[in-house]
Amino acid sequence: MSFKACSLQDLTPGEGLRIDSVSPPIAIFLTEEGTVHAIDDTCTHQDASLAAGWVEDCRVECPLHESTFSLRTGAVDQPPAKKGVRVHTVELDGDDVLVELSQDAPNLPPGVKI
Ligand code: FES
């Protein structure tokens, strides 16, 4: 079942928004191209918020190290992170950004619990 994560007006092109009303938190991204994506906010390497990362070409770079994650598939490109993040389904209803959470188990880094 989907829930309203935020409004389109809450999002800035090229930036992420952390949503911590769900556990683990998720990050919503509005790309410069105008697409909206939702992935798990916590990097799979260490406890870093991907919403604070740098977005380019539909990928987000972790703010701590150099791994980048695809906003479309969650796949990671290179170490130190080894596992991808979950991708959540996004639907737009007018200005509402609706998210349906993935049922997969999250790939949380060591020491981070839900
Ligand atoms: S914490 Fe994200 S790559 Fe290290």
Q: Which helix (H) or strand (E) holds 26?
A: strand 26-30
Ligand 1 centre and the CA of 21: distance in Å?
23
Neighbours of 106 (CB within 10 A): 17
pTM for this entry: 0.97
pLDDT at 42: 98
As a whole number of angstroms, the distance between CA 77 and CA 70 comes to 8
**CA-closest candidate to residue 79, choices 69, 89, 94, 90:** 69
pLDDT at 113: 86
User: What pLDDT tens digit does each residue of the chain (114 aa) get?
Assistant: 899 999 999 999 999 999 999 999 999 999 999 999 999 999 999 999 999 999 999 999 999 999 999 999 999 999 999 999 999 999 999 999 999 999 999 999 999 988
Do the bridges between strand 87-93 and strand 26-30 make them parallel or antiparallel, or are there none, so unpaired? unpaired
Fold of 2-100: Rieske Iron-sulfur Protein (2.102.10)
Give the residue extent of every domain in the chain: 2-100
pLDDT at 55: 96
Q: Is 44 in the pocket of ligand 1 (CB under 6 A)?
A: no
Q: Is 67 in the pocket of ligand 1 (CB under 6 A)?
A: yes
Ligand 1 centre and the CA of 42: distance in Å?
9
